[in-house]
């Protein structure tokens, strides 16, 4: 019999070392070795959704706060990171379960949701009502605002409270590693 699946939502501070290690291992496997230490660091310091099948972790996603500049405002954004479902368990609605948990936090706590999608996951987010950003993207770097052309066409937003012009400019705050 397959053990029950259960989604648990917790802040990084409330996850023990074993749960964090299981999440990192799942992400390394799901992204086939392309998941970097920076990617992991970007997923910390906010809320995690973990999907357990008995004692096995089969899915992970987190949301952290970032500032996105748009139309003259610094919007409080719930930025989604490190979304993955174990390969053997995909297309069974587990990714949707994880996102549903995080979208509740985004709708209740932020001006908008945002994320940078992998090519593979573009239909997954579109299906859930996330909107592809149409305008140019930028990052607020230590040397000033810089264009991030390579990220155009891969940034999704989940509109909540803020008025968004999807064809306008969107600027993310600075961090090490991939800025979006």
Ligand X SMILES: CC(C)(COP(=O)(O)OP(=O)(O)OC[C@H]1O[C@@H](n2cnc3c(N)ncnc32)[C@H](O)[C@@H]1OP(=O)(O)O)[C@@H](O)C(=O)NCCC(=O)NCCS
Is 11 a residue that touches ligand X (CB under 6 A)? no
Query: Minimal distance in Å, beta carbon 17 to ligand X?
Result: 23
Hey, CA dihedral for 31, 34, 36, 41, is it positive or negative? Answer: negative
Pairing of strands 112-116, 73-85: parallel
Nearer to ligand X, 120 or 176 (CB): 120
Cross-strand partners of 77: 66, 112
Greatest extent of the chain over all pairs of C-alpha atoms, in Å = 57
Is 102 a residue that touches ligand X (CB under 6 A)? no
Stretch near ligand X under the rule CB under 6 A, chosen from 39-47, 63-71, 115-123, 160-168: 115-123
Nearer to ligand X, 115 or 160 (CB): 115
CB 70 within 8 A of CB 168: yes
Using CA atoms, how far residue 80 sits from 39, 56, 165, in Å, is: 11, 22, 20
- With CB under 6 A as the contact rule, the residue among 60, 94, 158, 170 that binds ligand X is 94
Is 129 a residue that touches ligand X (CB under 6 A)? no
Query: Minimal distance in Å, beta carbon 126 to ligand X?
Result: 8
Q: How many residues bind ligand X (CB under 6 A)?
A: 19
User: b or e along 87-109 (b: 16 or more beta carbons within 10 Å of the residue's beta carbon)?
Assistant: eebbeeebbebbbebbbebbeee
Q: What's the rounded Cα separation, in Å, for the pair 180 and 177?
A: 9
Considering only residues 15 through 54, tell me which ones interact with ligand X, judged by CB under 6 A.
30-31
Query: Minimal distance in Å, beta carbon 73 to ligand X?
Result: 25
Is 83 a residue that touches ligand X (CB under 6 A)? yes
Nearer to ligand X, 17 or 123 (CB): 123
Binding residues for ligand X, rule: CB under 6 A, are 30-31, 83-85, 90-96, 117-118, 120-121, 123-124, 127
């Amino acid at each position: 019999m397959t053990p029950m699946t259960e989604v648990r939502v917790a802040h990084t501070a409330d996850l023990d070392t074993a749960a964090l290690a299981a999440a990192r291992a799942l992400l390394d496997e799901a992204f086939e070795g392309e998941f970097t230490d920076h990617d992991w660091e970007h997923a910390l310091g906010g809320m995690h959704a973990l999907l357990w099948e008995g004692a096995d972790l089969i899915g992970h996603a987190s949301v952290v706060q970032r500032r996105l500049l748009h139309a003259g405002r610094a919007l409080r954004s719930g930025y989604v990171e490190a979304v993955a479902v174990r390969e053997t368990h995909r297309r069974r609605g587990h990714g949707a379960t994880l996102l549903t948990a995080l979208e509740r936090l985004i709708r209740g706590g932020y001006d908008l949701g945002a994320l940078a999608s992998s090519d593979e996951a573009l239909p997954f987010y579109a299906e859930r009502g996330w909107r592809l950003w149409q305008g140019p993207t930028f990052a607020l770097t230590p040397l000033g605002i810089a264009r991030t052309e390579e990220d155009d066409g891969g940034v999704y937003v989940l509109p909540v409270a803020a008025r968004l012009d999807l064809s306008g400019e969107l600027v993310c705050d600075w961090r090490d590693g991939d800025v979006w």
